[in-house]
Amino acid sequence: MPSPPLVRWNPCLEPHRFNDTEVLQRLSCMAIQGGMFLVANLGTKQPCHSSDPGCPRDGRYQFNTNVVFSSNGTLLDRYRKYNLYFEAAFDTPPQVDHIIFDTPFAGKFGIFTCFDILFFRPAIELLRDPEVKHVVFPAAWMNQLPLLAAIQIQSAFARAFGVNLLAANIHQPSLGMTGSGIHTPLKSVWHHDMENFTGHLIIAQVAKNPQGLGTENATEEMDPPHSRFLKLLAGDPYCEKDSQEVHCDGAPRWNMNAPPAFHAEMMYDNFTLVPVWGKEGYLRVCANGLCCHLLYQRPTVSEELYALGVFDGLHTVHGTYYVQVCALVKCGGLGFEACGQEVTEATGLFEFHLWGNFSTSYVFPLFLTSGMTLEAPDQLGWENDHYFLRKSGLSSGLVTAALYGRLYERD
């Protein structure tokens, strides 16, 4: 079924050109009145013929659609959501829309919707255009902790790809849908509220050409934690002793009794985890070909259980896609079985390096702190074929720090 060409027209100034376009007319007039580009999400219909084998019985397709208006009210383009998520009312378009629109104030914007953010098409394909520095992202995202809260994945996408992400999520706390933001590679301005049912307008000033955070953000002088990280990455042995703390040449002073590995369900996947005990240490946990590492220190040991987890496999619940994950998470209780549960509050403060030998270049740095808040990593990027995230000086307790790798070709 070929898609009909989009007719560029001005619904506000030409209200009678097409039937059933009252919503488009109101949006077009809003764009004119505000003197702004406007993107809105709505349902659209497209008639089809019985000769089309995919045509629904009622003779029309229905699409989850984003429409784009220029500041003079012209309908510039439309994007039809490709990766549907429990949307029985909508059809998958016959081909992927790759929609990029140009603006006089910030250059090119890409656009996709909600669940699309986890897939190669169209999200990653759009960013192959080096001139696309901004993404508009309407969503109806249900928060899924500990790894996929709305503001968490929004911020991670902006950091991973070095773009500005303008995310507008439906605000419906009764459905667990909240969390919108304007995210750059370096900082985020967000709104998350599960108590009130009123929306919130987010305004932020961002760079036209956003700059990313990388390994070059290291301090001039190599500090001890980063030096230890680089030595471990290079394969230098760390101190091991069964019964007492020791201090080996070039190694930190800690007890290296190996903690027990265990399994727990996180995000419907069977993670392999090790508990994070003590004030400092180095941990390693592996599954399939992925090994995750954690080098950490903390000022005090809170009365909470944290764990380092790994998963390398096909996620099959509420979508099918292949992930590699290294995650430092606060557990929902003090028992191992509570690791992977949904948690929003935490008091544990860490200084840490988290890294893994990912076999994909598409790694999302997920970061969430107590009270559904975001903090920026100090450094992230590739070092010696490992992707790492570093953070010190947390201002609130750590809920999740994770590296979420996507192997699109294995979906």
pLDDT, residue 212, reads 84
What's 116's DSSP letter?
G
108 forms bridges with which residues in the sheet?
102, 132
Q: What count of other Cβ atoms lies within 10 Å of the Cβ of residue 139? A: 22
Kind plus residue range of the DSSP H or E element containing 166: strand 164-169
Helix H segments across 162-248?
224-233
**What does the alpha-carbon distance between residue 34 and residue 51 come to, in Å, rounded to a whole number?**
44
- pLDDT tens for 302-341 read 999 999 999 999 999 999 999 999 999 999 999 999 999 9
- From start to end of 13-153, where are the E strands? 38-47, 60-69, 75-80, 100-103, 107-111, 132-139
* Alpha carbons 352 and 290: distance in angstroms, whole number: 19
Residue 91, both tokens: 């059809």
CA distance 411 to 324: 12
Residue 378 carries which DSSP code? S
Tell me the C-alpha to C-alpha distance, in Å, between residue 13 and each of 24, 68, 108, 276, 340: 11, 16, 26, 63, 54
What one-character DSSP code corresponds to residue 258? P
What SS3 state is found at 133? strand
Backbone angles phi, psi at 333, to 5 degrees: -160, -165
**pLDDT at position 216, please?**
54
For residue 173, count CB atoms less than 10 angstroms from its CB and return exposed for 0-12, middle for 13-18, buried for 19 or more. Answer: middle
Q: Can you list the alpha helix ranges (DSSP code H) found in 131-223? A: 150-161
Q: Where are the domains of the chain?
A: 4-191, 258-406
Q: Which residues of the chain have pLDDT under 50?
A: 217-220, 239-255
Q: Give the pLDDT of residue 400.
A: 98
Distance between alpha carbon 69 and the CA centroid of its chain, in Å? 27
Return the closest-CA partner of residue 261 out of 251, 269, 272: 272
Task: Tell me what pLDDT residue 334 has.
Answer: 98
Question: pTM of the prediction?
Answer: 0.93
**DSSP labels, 218-237:** --SSPPHHHHHHHHHHTTPP
Q: How many CA atoms lie within 13 A of 309 on its CB side?
A: 32
Q: Which CATH number is 4-191 given?
A: 3.60.110.10
For residue 331, count other CB atoms closer than 10 A to its CB. Answer: 25
pLDDT at 257: 66
Question: What pLDDT score does 354 carry?
Answer: 98
Burial 351-384 (b: 16+ CB within 10 A, else e): bbbbbbbbeeebbbbbbbbbebbbbbbbbbbebe
Quote the tokens at residue 342.
């949904």
Rounded to 5 degrees, φ, ψ at 166 are: -100, 105
pLDDT in tens, 204-246: 999 999 998 766 544 445 789 999 999 999 987 654 333 334 3
